[in-house]
Structure 1
Amino acid sequence: MPSHAFVDESIRNGYLMSAAVIAAGDLAPARGKLRELCKPGQRRLHMKDENDSRRREILSTLAGLGLQIHHLYRAPVSGRPIRSSRDDCLRALIPALLALDVDRLVVESCGQDHRDNQIIGPLADRLAARGRFAWLHLAPAADPLLWTADAAAWAYGKGGDWRRRVEGIVAQVTDLP
């Protein structure tokens, strides 16, 4: 069954890119559960803006969705531009997503969209994926499934009990040189 992937990042002890891969049939129920977590007037969830109680609630909800969905890519940032780390993560991520039958990638828009497209487009062409693999950038409030990638990256990067809380939904962690 085709899947969609939702990507966000965190920078803590290196660059961490999180991809939430979700089967197309599970998208609507997962979005609904996540929207229920928003407080009145809140447009999106963002782990750095939440208190610890809310963070636990968000992570429990993610775990309760019953999906082992997150693929994390870590790249060093020491002595090099963060953009280089992001590029490396995208280069590793795209072939992995294609192997998982992902046909749509949604990346959280963060002012780097044009450069991301310069990495993703040629990869899709080289892997003969153009036409069966689409990607776009969206604002964080535009799709609640972007929040899952944010939550997983934040918790994994924070470590300790926070990392333990996402172990059940993290399918893979790949360390890049």
Structure 2
Amino acid sequence: MPAHAFVDESIRNGYLLSAAVVPVAELSIARGKLRELCKPGQRRLHMKDENDSRRREILSTLTGLDLQVYLCRASLAGRPVRAGRDECLRALVPALLEHDVSRLVIESCNQDRRDNQVIQPMAGAFVAAGRFAWVHAKPSTEPLLWAADATAWAVGRGGDWRRRVREIIRFTADLA
């Protein structure tokens, strides 16, 4: 079943890239449920800004959605963050392509151009065949980026937080 993936990062115990993968038929439902979690005046959800009660509510909502999470973690020991990001993208993109992801949305930051340079060689044939596209987006414009943020936060935090999202994690790559 065709799906879209939404990617965000967390830097805790290494570099963690999280992709929330949502079937195309479920995109509007998932976006709506996440938007409902925003409080008046809140433009987006961001786990670092929420209290524990809200974090539990957000994670509970995520596990009730039709989504799966793909995770890649790279060590940063003695390496720049960018090296970890590149390594994670190189592991994540092929895994997503294997599982019928046709669109990848990555949270926009000051690394967009370098992301494009890393993704293009892996995705070129799929793009040429019209089977894959990727874009960078601001989290205030794409609620499903919040799902990637929340799962990256929970996994990075560990303990009970990680347990709360365990059932939606489909793929994990721990890179050297």
Instruction: Give the TM bin, normalised by the shorter chain.
Output: over 0.9
Q: Give the aligned residue type for 1:110.
A: C
Task: State how 1:7-86 maps to structure 2 within 5 Å.
Answer: 7-65=7-65, 67-86=66-85
In the aligned structure 2, how far is the partner of 1:94 from the partner of 1:27? 20
Structure 1 segments (4+ residues) deviating >3 Å: none
Q: Give the aligned residue type for 2:69.
A: H
Q: Is residue 2:126 matched to residue 1:129?
A: yes
CA RMSD for the aligned pairs? Answer: 0.8
- What runs of 5+ residues in structure 1 fail to find an aligned partner? none
Q: Give how far 1:68 is off.
A: 4.7
* TM-score normalised by structure 2 residue count: 0.97
- What runs of 5+ residues in structure 2 fail to find an aligned partner? none
In the aligned structure 2, how far is the partner of 1:173 from the partner of 1:157? 13
- Helix, strand or coil: the match of 2:140? helix
Q: Give how far 1:173 is off.
A: 1.4
Q: Give how far 1:16 is off.
A: 0.4
Q: Give the aligned residue type for 1:173.
A: T
In the aligned structure 2, how far is the partner of 1:61 from the partner of 1:3? 19
Between Structure 1 and Structure 2, how many residues are aligned?
174
Match of 1:95 in 2: 94
In the aligned structure 1, how far is the partner of 2:32 from the partner of 2:159? 29
| Conserved 8 A contact 1:70-1:169 | yes
- Helix, strand or coil: the match of 2:71? strand
Match of 1:4 in 2: 4
Match of 2:166 in 1: 167
